[in-house]
């Protein structure tokens, strides 16, 4: 069942190639293949929320028109990732003829990098044996997790995170349709918080719009608490000046008052390091230390202790 926060994502999903923002080179090439009414197996690789699933759906609708549902099978490989799924659902669908003038069906495997190696090897044989009846579109975040025999059978397209102008275009279109007033700074906040993920930007906009039709950067910040660069800068400047106590207290204040996780603090520190007025060599060393602490956090270490250790490293670096 679709969650409330996904309603706008589905509502404003592009229906045609021209409506998809960003990835211009990829769109042109895939559109050219689709217009020829004969596509190869496709592999879409890239981060979440940049249009991989949307492009797959647009390709299918352009190929089959009104009868696209009868000739299309979509599976989320992260939920159904075993060899039995490939042997049963995929194989059964692939071996039957298409019900249209197009001589093949399309199977879309979302998050294909979650398939087990056994399932991928079974999929390889299915792709090989039923090419005349079926084309596969695979989507993944990490193409390195897809075995080479599958990659060699596909035309690989690598998606990038969306740029600010792309997110801005989508946000303004939705604001116009939904009759929202949105500030320029609010658009910037949505882009920064989404980090190029269009789906996340739309969900943030929908959540904010449920409170007020006038979207401001302050309202967006209330919905998604984040570490303000100015606060992070104060923390780091205290540490580099050798004032560990004030640096630690400011860190605790930010984490508790704003309810910000250690991982989010680490990301904010990593960005702010490069804005500090210190030597480039020192920035490199501090970035390396930040990465080490981030790894420890992902392994389950105590957030505050690890962040204190990071601040201690900044204090020592400031003295050297």
pLDDT, position 231: 86
Distance CA 136, CA 164 (A): 32
pLDDT at 228 over 80: no
Within 10 angstroms of residue 92's Cβ, the number of other Cβ atoms is 10
pLDDT confidence of residue 95: 85
* Interval 65-83 mean pLDDT: 80
What per-residue confidence (pLDDT) applies to 225? 67
176-210: pLDDT as tens digits: 999 999 999 999 989 988 889 999 999 999 999 98
Q: What is the C-alpha end-to-end distance of the chain, expressed in Å? A: 57
Instruction: Please name the helix (run of DSSP H) or strand (run of DSSP E) that holds residue 320, with its range, or none.
Output: none
Q: How many angstroms separate the CA atoms of 178 and 181, rounded?
A: 9
What is the average per-residue pLDDT within 14-41?
93
Asked whether 191 and 182 are in contact (CB, 8 A), the reply is no
pLDDT on residue 122: 87
Average pLDDT over residues 218-232: 80
Q: What percent of the chain has pLDDT over 90?
A: 55
pTM (2 decimals)?
0.78
pLDDT-derived band at 5, boundaries 50, 70, 90: low
Beta-sheet strands, E only, within the chain: 41-45, 72-76, 105-110, 134-140, 154-158, 181-182, 214-215
Domains and CATH numbers, the chain: 23-158 (3.40.50.300), 164-223 (1.10.8.60), 229-319 (1.20.272.10)
Q: What is the mean pLDDT of the chain?
A: 89
- Lowest average pLDDT, out of 37-51, 103-117, 161-175, 224-238, goes to 224-238
Report pLDDT for 2: 45
- What is the predicted pLDDT for the residue at 227? 73
Q: What is the pLDDT of residue 256?
A: 82
Task: Answer yes or no: is pLDDT of 1 > 90.
Answer: no
Contact 311, 251 (CB under 8 A): yes
Tell me the average pLDDT across 132-161.
Answer: 94
Q: What pLDDT was estimated at residue 307? A: 93
pLDDT digits (tens, 9 = 90+) for 100-139: 889 999 999 998 998 888 889 988 988 988 888 999 999 9
pLDDT over 60 (residue 4): no
Would you state the pLDDT for residue 241? 92
Q: How confident is the model at residue 277 (pLDDT cuts 50, 70, 90)?
A: confident
Question: Edge-to-edge strand order for the sheet containing 105-110?
Answer: 72-76, 105-110, 134-140, 41-45, 154-158
The whole-number pLDDT of residue 88 equals 78
166 pLDDT higher than 50: yes
Q: From residue 293, how far is each of 189, 226, 300, 316, 317 by CA, in Å?
A: 27, 19, 11, 16, 16
Give whole-number Cα distances, 40 to 71, 135, 149, 182, 309, in Å.
16, 7, 15, 42, 52
- Determine the average pLDDT of the residues in 58-78: 89
- pLDDT band for 80, please (50, 70, 90 cuts): low
Q: Looking at residue 201, what is its pLDDT?
A: 92
């Amino acid at each position: 069942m679709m969650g409330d926060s996904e309603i706008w994502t589905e509502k404003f999903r592009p229906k045609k190639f021209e409506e998809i923002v960003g990835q211009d080179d990829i769109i042109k090439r895939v559109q050219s293949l689709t217009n020829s009414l004969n596509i190869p197996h496709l592999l879409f690789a890239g981060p979440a929320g940049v249009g991989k699933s949307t492009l797959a759906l647009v390709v299918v609708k352009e190929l089959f028109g009104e009868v696209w549902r009868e000739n299309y099978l979509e599976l989320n490989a992260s939920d159904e990732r075993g060899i039995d799924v490939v042997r049963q659902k995929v194989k059964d669908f692939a071996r039957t003829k298409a019900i249209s003038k197009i001589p093949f069906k399309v199977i879309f495997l979302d998050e294909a990098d979650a398939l087990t190696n056994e399932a991928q090897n079974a999929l390889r044989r299915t792709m090989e044996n039923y090419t005349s009846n079926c084309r596969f579109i695979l989507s993944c975040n990490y193409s390195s997790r897809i075995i080479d025999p599958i990659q060699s059978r596909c035309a690989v397209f690598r998606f990038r995170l969306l740029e600010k102008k792309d997110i801005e275009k989508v946000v303004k279109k939705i604001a116009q349709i939904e009759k929202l007033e949105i500030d320029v700074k609010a658009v910037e906040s949505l882009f920064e918080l989404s980090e190029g993920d269009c789906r996340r930007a739309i969900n943030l906009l929908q959540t904010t719009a449920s409170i007020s039709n006038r979207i401001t950067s302050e309202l967006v910040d209330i919905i998604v608490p984040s570490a303000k660069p100015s606060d992070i800068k104060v923390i780091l400047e205290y540490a580099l000046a050798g004032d560990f106590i004030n640096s630690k207290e400011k860190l605790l204040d930010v984490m508790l008052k704003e309810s910000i996780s250690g991982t989010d603090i680490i990301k904010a520190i990593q960005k702010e390091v490069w804005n500090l007025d210190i030597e480039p060599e020192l920035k490199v060393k501090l970035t390396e230390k930040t990465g080490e602490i981030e790894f420890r956090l992902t392994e389950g270490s105590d957030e505050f202790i690890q962040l204190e250790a990071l601040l201690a490293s900044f204090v020592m670096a400031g003295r050297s």
